[in-house]
A and B are shown apart, each in its own frame.
Chain A
Amino acid sequence: MPNRQRITLQEDLTIYHALEQKGRLLDALNQADEVELDLSQVSEMDTAGLQLLILLKREAQKAGKQAIIVAHSQAVRSVIDFCNLAAYLGDPLVIPAQEAH
């Protein structure tokens, strides 16, 4: 039974919180085999935030663990979409009908 940890980020994924969030995410990854990251509360994401997501994914892959991003907020989705990283991150994205084009 792999132990699983769920993190819900309350703050925005921006440079202002990047330092603490990095620690938090990597700690979680160290302690658990599977990390589930809930981004539904994130209303803003900048490059620093994006880097953290990439870092989390990469580290998880290296350690043979799972890092899954769930419930992308609209802001997160648009950044990932803009940077064409959906495939790299590999999480299922829910695209609401009115946004699909």
Chain B
Amino acid sequence: MDELTSVFVQESREQLADMEAGLLRLEQDPQDADNINAIFRAAHTIKGASGVIECGFIESFTHKVENILDKLRNGEITVSGNLATLLLECCDHMGHLIDVLEAGQPAPSPEVTAQAEALGVRLDAQLAAASGTEVQQGADAGSVPVEHESPVEVSGGGVVITDGWLISVRFGPNVLRGGMDPLSFLRYLSSLGEILGIETLPDAMPEAEDMDPESCYLGFEIHFQTRASKADIERVFDFVQDECELRILPPNSKLSEYLKHIEELPEDTMRLGEILVRCGALTQAELDEALRLQHDSTCQHQEDSQGEDAHPQQLGEILVEQKVVQKALVDAAVGKQTQVSEKKAKESRMIRVQADKLDQLIDLVGELVIAGASTNLLANRSGQSDLVEATSILSRLVEDIRDSALQLRMVQIGETFNRFQRVVRDVAKELEKNIELQVSGGETELDKSVVEKIGDPLTHLVRNSMDHGIEAAEIRLARGKPAHGTLGLNAYHDSGSIVIEVSDDGGGLKKDRILAKAIEKGLVQSGHNLTDQEIVNLIFEPGFSTMEKVSNLSGRGVGMDVVRRNIMALRGSVEIDSRPGLGTTMRIRLPLTLAIIDGFLVGVDKGAYVIPLDTVVECIELKDQPDSRHYLNLRGEVLPFVRLREAFNIEGDIPPRENVVVVQYAGQKAGIVVDQLMGEFQTVIKPLGNLFKHLKGIGGSTILGSGEVALILDVQALIQRCASADELRMRNSNRLLGATNLN
């Protein structure tokens, strides 16, 4: 795929996303003209660009969509639910077509073509329904230019009597080398309207020896008739906007503007005037009038400035002085131009960077962090205070670089959330439920790679909530809730993780049914006493589904375990908070970043371990603790703890003083008992090999400044281990009690 095509694919996808968002808004507010225009522009841009890259199948399909949108824009047809659905399907189909192009296939497969035809028929039907009453208007519209300028009150000659645009374009030398052919832009331009006259200007071509056959020297003056707006015409040349000089004069512009146009162009004034006459933009009389005007005003000005060192003033300056030009220019293109230029300005603030370049930068920063740690260590050992100071400044800078580099990868989750507007709309229609999506916390940022991977699990949870969670309208009314259900997506930061919540105001999980199903499936033995939390967590077991009727969306029981697995693969967790009759909240907890963390270095015997600093609450000394007990009294609170020495079977003597690192994760607190506390440490996470995939309690490894390897503790797994060990002991003791009772 060449560069132009890949740019097209990328930009078209963005346009499609805009279009889809616009269509969704359209349903809510059918009267919003700005919105309709935005949708039209998006479709139009795709069509234009596909014409430029000569991708016929996208162009022809988009053209049909554009026709409908045009009618919509002109108020010839009104928005209906059917039409919106149809347009959304067209949107999807355009996405498929772009996929085809991206895959490098010359033409779409027969199924896709058939789909296009089916959509085309439906579009035609909509058009036909609309056009019956609009024949008269349509016939007129062809010859009526879009923009009329109000009569001019200032001096500067009469209005030029022509209903065509004058488009003047000079292509820059690098256009051809950039793989773009000016002719194809002009051909595309001719699809927007009718070229009444065209003149090719080869004047810029240098002498034969200097002429580079791979540079472009041509310019064109085009007399053009169209219904399209100035922005649309400008957009034809979007791909070469930096490389060409483009001037567009709207129909019925003032003579002075033509004059200014002639003045500003590089070619000889007389010749250019003739050219304009030839291509029909001006009549000979108008040209004469313009030139006379130019002459007069120059003379007059010279008379005015007698005595001073008068020099003939350029016409452009005169016009500016007389306030003719600004006024006219402002009048000509007011709204649209500002809109276009604002968009351009916004675009230029963003730079597209390839993701792998960014990854490479992060890798390098990671190495920098490790190297910095080693320098720090050596400096501390040397005992030279100057050196220590210098390295500490250095490490502060490295820390800043690390943060900004990671920041580059951060994206807001809002975009991902907004995709769900469509999902919710479609699923709600399918289920015949009335469901509203409420999004909050869209500005919460998280790592790009996480965002990419969270889409699928999130989609599943959303569908699940809509299908199983939110009840049918009758039941809701019977329960005293509003008929339309609400689905919430929320995100926020919480102690080094990002939390994403999918909540519904449905009936909550039915624990008895889950339990019954689990027993039926043999997932648990009957007679086991499970806590509420354990019961709801059963829905994450493979092959579990309570839905009697398998629906299209969910209920096949293949989803939730996959969801959990996907989330675990991101070092995250998922939990359920269900309230009977009130609703369910699924909470996904994910690490903010996958690459570098702030760590807390601890030591057991000779080994070093890293605890993610975000999870550390405090450190206390472990005193007078009998070996057997695994909990302590933390200011009146029971704190279970785990001895790392026991957990990892580390040999060696227990030092006289042990320390407890109190960690917190997902609202649970636990202690980790270690020998030494070694302080904060920037940690570059290196994943463990596949061989250690099943290792519980260790999340990865890192390299210390000294070159030694330290293991990164998986706090979540350790806490769970604490909790389950506690429970086991409780159960054992219960059983012992039971046994004694029997005796």
Residues of B within 8 A of A42 (CB): none
* B199 interfacial contact with A, CB 8 Å: yes
Do most interface residues of chain B lie in helix, strand or loop, or is the interface mixed? loop
* B138 interfacial contact with A, CB 8 Å: no
Residues of B within 8 A of A82 (CB): 183, 186-187, 198
8 A Cβ contacts from A1-49 to B: 15, 18-19, 21-22, 26, 46-48
- Whether the Cβ atoms of B200 and A83 lie closer than 8 Å is yes
- Whether the Cβ atoms of B198 and A47 lie closer than 8 Å is no
* B202 interfacial contact with A, CB 8 Å: yes
Across the two chains, which residue of chain B brings its CB closest to A23? B213
Across the interface, B200 reaches (CB within 8 A) one of A15, A21, A84, namely: A84
Residue picked from B187, B200, B217, most chain A C-beta under 10 Å: B200
Once the chains are docked, how many angstroms separate the CA of A54 from the CA of B208? 11
- Whether the Cβ atoms of A85 and B200 lie closer than 8 Å is yes
Across the interface, A48 reaches (CB within 8 A) one of B198, B208, B216, B220, namely: B216
- Whether the Cβ atoms of A15 and B198 lie closer than 8 Å is no
- Whether the Cβ atoms of A46 and B181 lie closer than 8 Å is yes
- Given A26-B208, A47-B181, A47-B182, A58 contacting B202 (CB threshold 8 A): yes
Tell me the minimal C-beta distance from B257 to chain A in angstroms. Answer: 24
Do most interface residues of chain A lie in helix, strand or loop, or is the interface mixed? helix
Once the chains are docked, how many angstroms separate the CA of A48 from the CA of B200? 13
* B140 interfacial contact with A, CB 8 Å: no
- Whether the Cβ atoms of A51 and B183 lie closer than 8 Å is no
Residues of B within 8 A of A69 (CB): none
- Whether the Cβ atoms of A47 and B176 lie closer than 8 Å is yes
- Whether the Cβ atoms of A48 and B205 lie closer than 8 Å is no
Across the two chains, which residue of chain A brings its CB closest to B217? A51
How many A-B residue pairs have C-beta atoms within 8 angstroms? Tell me. 66
- Whether the Cβ atoms of A55 and B220 lie closer than 8 Å is no
* B86 interfacial contact with A, CB 8 Å: no
In which size bucket is the chain A interface? Answer: 20 to 34
Residue picked from B182, B202, B205, B279, most chain A C-beta under 10 Å: B202
8 A Cβ contacts from A41-82 to B: 46-48, 50-52, 54-55, 58-59, 79, 82
- Whether the Cβ atoms of B213 and A51 lie closer than 8 Å is yes
- Whether the Cβ atoms of A84 and B198 lie closer than 8 Å is yes
Across the interface, A83 reaches (CB within 8 A) one of B171, B176, B198, namely: B198
8 A Cβ contacts from B157-207 to A: 171, 175-177, 181-183, 186-187, 197-200, 202, 205
- Whether the Cβ atoms of B211 and A47 lie closer than 8 Å is no
- Given A18-B214, A83-B200, A50 contacting B183 (CB threshold 8 A): yes
Residues of B within 8 A of A88 (CB): 200
Once the chains are docked, how many angstroms separate the CA of A47 from the CA of B186? 11
Residue picked from A19, A47, A58, A88, most chain B C-beta under 10 Å: A47
Residues of A within 8 A of B211 (CB): 22, 51, 55
- Given A19-B213, A19-B214, A84-B199, A47 contacting B208 (CB threshold 8 A): no
Across the interface, B183 reaches (CB within 8 A) one of A26, A46, A52, A84, namely: A46
Residues of A within 8 A of B198 (CB): 82-84
* B218 interfacial contact with A, CB 8 Å: yes
Residues of B within 8 A of A52 (CB): 213
Residues of B within 8 A of A84 (CB): 197-200, 279
Residues of A within 8 A of B218 (CB): 47, 50-51
Across the two chains, which residue of chain B brings its CB closest to A85? B200
- Given A47-B182, A48-B216, A54 contacting B205 (CB threshold 8 A): yes
Once the chains are docked, how many angstroms separate the CA of A48 from the CA of B734? 90
- Whether the Cβ atoms of A48 and B214 lie closer than 8 Å is yes
**A-B contact sample (16 more), CB < 8 A, given A15-B176, A22-B213:** A15-B213, A47-B171, A47-B181, A47-B182, A48-B176, A48-B214, A50-B183, A50-B200, A51-B216, A54-B202, A55-B205, A55-B208, A55-B213, A58-B205, A82-B187, A83-B198
Q: Can you report 6 A-B residue pairs in the complex whose CB atoms are below 8 A from each other?
A: A47-B171, A55-B213, A82-B187, A83-B183, A83-B220, A84-B200
